[in-house]
Structure 1
């Protein structure tokens, strides 16, 4: 069965076919609202059941593609386990019972220490070492953005000879990641799994790091759907926010379940 969505779920005018398409879903800002701190994320009570139903409807061709660690996603979605590309594509779990595979070496402690020294100068900024990435959250101190970006770029320049890292900007966060890691590369890898192979990918995301995932989905003949926020304005976004994404997905699963 197909699912027409625009008028019924308040989302984009897309017709999705569960038997021939695959869903790739960002987490923060797409499925759940952006929180003030990483630990403050609130997962709607209906989300786990919704994702479980989508997995059944799409014969397992549903993946989370996120900047979070795989362990974070497991914690938020317990007891559900999904195919997950974590840490912006730096880690993959290709099956519910599979081990997590790192696609890049962990960022060295000396880099983290250098970043921590920068962050200490700005009270209210949070730093996370996620193994293959480092996140610097400045949502609580928006005026510090320019200072942090300049200092972090300087810090990376100092260690560039030993670590090929780049600084990316997200929704009130800077991410330090290996240059060759991306959500787009992760989607290309997942698309080769039996459950996903040959299906048209639909990628939904809200942030800068999702741009490579959008490109990968479109390269595979799929589509990119954008969620409004600091990165995408209402004028170019397909969804106003995570609540509308969840409603669209709920309408989709209702119309794809016999």
Structure 2
């Protein structure tokens, strides 16, 4: 049930120990500002440096959990290479670099892409993104088409089992399987270097709410970026403010290491 998150500024960072927490981060709307086109986003060099510093202080217990494919996260964060769960948990790369991916019927994804492209062809400003295990319909340039796009997505999946429709910020995604970001967090938490640590998850979208619930179940810390109803325990106003918070956290960790 949605509650009233506390401001993230009220969280005492001194209680966060680099050897005792695991950090999981959404990408779009959390590390990168949301753009009209999926390829138009970027992550500042300073933020990539902060992530690298955190990974070093935390023995690698930091991962990206996103709807994007792993290869795209690598491209935006290069040369940094972190553990990543992509396509809402359908693919995952662990801290040792091993890849795991759910089996997906590529012909079914192709069929869905063709159906959504027909909607794109008749509505200027719509972007259809075909991923390995899902298809996303982005309507950021045409927000008035949210209802029509959702109706089209439901028609596209009609008669096909094992598909899930997710609605995020200005995007509708049809994915194979039932995996969620919560499943991805649970999988990471069963492995080193994440196992035995307190989980921290930050995200901005409705697709992050499953992960927030998983974090609450584990007694961890959940952070909502921006507005909207949420079950997260804490909230911060936007991407820029959250990047600054991560930077201060990295400073804290490094200063403690110098004094130990």
Asked whether the two chains share a fold, i.e. TM above 0.5, the reply is yes
**Which residue pairs with 1:3 in the alignment?**
none
The 5 A counterparts of 1:219-238 are 219-229=217-227, 231-232=228-229, 238=235
Tell me which moved more, 220-229 or 236-245: 236-245
Contact 1:28–1:34 at 8 Å: present in 2 too? Answer: yes
Contact 2:64–2:82 at 8 Å: present in 1 too? Answer: yes
**How many residues end up aligned between the 2 structures?**
244
Return closer, same or farther for 1:184/1:14 CA change in 2, 3 Å cut-off. Answer: farther
Whole-Å separation in 2 of the counterparts to 1:58 and 1:178: 33
The 5 A counterparts of 1:128-167 are 128-157=129-158, 159-160=159-160, 163-167=161-165
Contact 2:201–2:222 at 8 Å: present in 1 too? Answer: yes
Q: Shift of the alpha carbon at 1:12?
A: 4.5
**Which residue pairs with 1:30 in the alignment?**
30
Whole-Å separation in 1 of the counterparts to 2:52 and 2:238: 21
The 5 A counterparts of 1:178-189 are 178-189=176-187
Whole-Å separation in 1 of the counterparts to 2:63 and 2:238: 19
**Which residue pairs with 2:213 in the alignment?**
215
Contact 2:223–2:234 at 8 Å: present in 1 too? Answer: yes
Structure 2 SS opposite 1:127? strand
Whole-Å separation in 1 of the counterparts to 2:248 and 2:48: 15
Contact 1:11–1:245 at 8 Å: present in 2 too? Answer: no
Whole-Å separation in 2 of the counterparts to 1:31 and 1:48: 9
Alpha-carbon RMSD across the aligned residues, in angstroms, is 2.0
**Which residue pairs with 1:114 in the alignment?**
115
Contact 1:228–1:238 at 8 Å: present in 2 too? Answer: yes
After TM superposition, what 4+ stretches of structure 1 lie above 3 angstroms from structure 2? none
Whole-Å separation in 1 of the counterparts to 2:12 and 2:204: 18
Contact 2:90–2:177 at 8 Å: present in 1 too? Answer: no
Q: Which structure 1 residue ranges, 5 or more long, are not aligned?
A: 1-5
Tell me which moved more, 130-139 or 104-113: 104-113
Which structure has the highest helix share of the two? 2
Q: Please give the per-residue CA displacement for 1:152-210, whole angstroms capped at 9, x wherever unaligned.
A: 111111x42xx411211101000112341110001100111110001010000000110
Return closer, same or farther for 1:96/1:44 CA change in 2, 3 Å cut-off. Answer: farther
The TM-score normalised by the length of structure 1 is 0.89
Whole-Å separation in 1 of the counterparts to 2:103 and 2:215: 22
**Which residue pairs with 2:189 in the alignment?**
191
Contact 1:25–1:63 at 8 Å: present in 2 too? Answer: yes
Whole-Å separation in 1 of the counterparts to 2:96 and 2:43: 20
Return closer, same or farther for 1:155/1:195 CA change in 2, 3 Å cut-off. Answer: same
Whole-Å separation in 2 of the counterparts to 1:12 and 1:119: 44
Return closer, same or farther for 1:80/1:251 CA change in 2, 3 Å cut-off. Answer: same
